[in-house]
Amino acid sequence: MELRPDIVPVSALAALGDGVLGVVRFGSRGIAQSELTHHVTLSLPLPILGDDVAEVWRCDGAVRVQQDGALSLAISDEYLFGAIVANDDDPAAAGQRVYDAIVTAARREGFPNLLRVWNHVRDINAIEGELERYRSFCRGRHDAFASHGYGLRADLPAASAVGMNAGSLATYFVASRIAAEQVENPRQVSAYDYPREYGPRSPSFSRATVSGSLVFISGTASIVGHESRHHGDVDAQLDETIENLDKVATVSGATLADVIALKVYVRDRSDCERIAARLAKRIAAPAIYLEADICRAELLLEIEAIARRERTADL
Nearer to ligand 3EB, 45 or 203 (CB): 203
Residue type, 111: F
Residue ranges in 190-249 that form contacts with ligand 3EB under rule CB under 6 A: 191, 203, 205, 218-219, 221, 223
CB of 77 to ligand 3EB, least distance (A): 28
Residue ranges in 294-313 that form contacts with ligand 3EB under rule CB under 6 A: 295
Nearer to ligand 3EB, 2 or 143 (CB): 143
Q: Map the chain to HEC letters.
A: CCCEEEEEEHHHHHHCCCCEEEEEEECCCCCEEEECCCCEEEEECCCECCCCEEEEEECCCCCEEEEECCEEEEECCCEEEEEEEECCCCHHHHHHHHHHHHHHHHHHCCCCEEEEEEEEEECCCCEECCEEHHHHHHHHHHHHHHHCCCCCCCCCCEEEEEEECCCCEEEEEEEECCCCEEECCCCECCHHHCCHHHCCCCCCCECEEEECCEEEEEEECCEEECEECCCCCHHHHHHHHHHHHHHHHHHCCCCHHHEEEEEEEECCHHHHHHHHHHHHCCCCCCEEEEECCECCCCCCEEEEEEEECCCCCCC
CB of 295 to ligand 3EB, least distance (A): 5
Residue 48's DSSP bridge partners are: 290
Nearer to ligand 3EB, 189 or 256 (CB): 189
CB of 27 to ligand 3EB, least distance (A): 22
Determine, following the binding rule CB under 6 A, whether residue 159 of this chain makes contact with ligand 3EB.
yes
First to last CA, the chain: 19
Size of the site for ligand 3EB (CB under 6 A): 12
Nearer to ligand 3EB, 33 or 228 (CB): 228
Determine, following the binding rule CB under 6 A, whether residue 95 of this chain makes contact with ligand 3EB.
no
Which region, judged by CB under 6 A, interacts with ligand 3EB, from 105-113, 157-165, 257-265, 270-278?
A: 157-165
Q: Which of 35, 291, 302, 304 is catalytic?
A: 302
Query: Of the candidates 41, 96, 113, 119, which one interacts with ligand 3EB according to CB under 6 A?
Result: 119
CB of 157 to ligand 3EB, least distance (A): 9
302 assigned to active site: yes
CB of 161 to ligand 3EB, least distance (A): 3
Determine, following the binding rule CB under 6 A, whether residue 265 of this chain makes contact with ligand 3EB.
no
Which positions are catalytic? 302
Q: Which residues bind ligand 3EB (CB under 6 A)?
A: 119, 159-161, 191, 203, 205, 218-219, 221, 223, 295
